Amino acid sequence: MTNYPHPLIAKEGWPFIAIAFSVALLVHYFAGFFWALFFWIVAVFVLQFFRDPPREVPMMSNAVLSPADGRIVAVEKVEDPYLKREAIKVSVFMNVFNVHSNRSPIDGEVRDKWYFPGKFVNADLPKASLENERNALWIKADNGEDVTCVQVAGLIAKRILCHALPGDHLSRGQRFGFIRFGSRVDVYLPPGTKINVNIGDKVHATTTVLAEFRELQ
């Protein structure tokens, strides 16, 4: 898997942006600015939704980085439903004004990938982790730790995009997917991992250190 370049606007949004601005231009041309104002607002909203700015990767070798922009809605001890192990789950909720590009929290190899069709309830709710449409990646960190990173669709999110495949090696901060229009990302970490965030904290993909592994192997 090649590292996706960061052109400021995510390629997943190019068709939507083109359609939105084309409609606004056509209405403006044939009906005037007043009638086109609503369509220009929609076009600007679509443009900002698909922004994909580059991010600087922290130098900490044992850091687990935030895979998404948003707000922490869960920090809890659970059973990882994908690897069937005890884990600490950290969940990041993205609203429609957050950047929706998803990035790898660690350096590691993708060992497996699972996709589950499901519901589209509010991604802010706890049940969304197990009931909504979702895509999970099992990433074996370079230091030997297991991390599960799960993209979860939200109330109006209708498409999860994941470009990573089993066998790919991801670098911390490397872009691996996108979720359209509201969602969350769950990260399942090994017990004993030092968690650096609390519920309600605002985080940014790549630049926020969610947690730190206990030690390097």
The per-residue pLDDT for range 90-128, each reduced to its tens digit, is 999 988 888 888 999 999 999 999 998 866 555 556 665
63-212 is classed CATH 3.40.228.10: no
Q: Which two tokens stand for residue 144?
A: 């030997």
- Buried residues in 156-189 as b, exposed as e (16+ CB within 10 A): ebeebbbebeeebebebbbbbbbbbbbbbbbbbb
pLDDT at 160: 86
| 183 annotated active-site | yes
Q: CB under 8 Å to 72, separation ≥6 — which residues? A: 90, 91, 92, 93, 197, 198, 199, 200, 201, 202, 203
pLDDT at 126: 63
* Contact by Cβ (8 Å): 160, 135: yes
Rg of the Cα atoms in the chain:
18
pLDDT at 1: 45
pLDDT at 217: 46
**What's the whole-model pTM score?**
0.86
For the chain, which ranges sit under pLDDT 70?
1-7, 118-131, 155-158, 181-182, 215-217
What is the C-alpha separation between 99 and 80, in angstroms, rounded? 26
- Domain layout of the chain by residue ranges: 8-52, 63-212
* Contact by Cβ (8 Å): 63, 212: yes
Cross-strand bridge partners of residue 199 = none
Q: Nearest-CA neighbor of 137 among 169, 173, 181?
A: 169
Q: Which of 91, 104, 129, 183 is catalytic?
A: 183
pLDDT at 43: 96
Cross-strand bridge partners of residue 151 = 135, 185
pLDDT at 4: 55
What is the C-alpha separation between 27 and 135, in angstroms, rounded? 38
Q: Nearest-CA neighbor of 206 among 54, 93, 8?
A: 54
Percent of the chain with pLDDT over 70: 86
At how many degrees (to 10) do helices 33-49 and 14-31 cross? 170
CA-CA distances (angstroms) from residue 123 to 46, 119, 177, 181? 20, 10, 17, 11
pLDDT at 13: 84
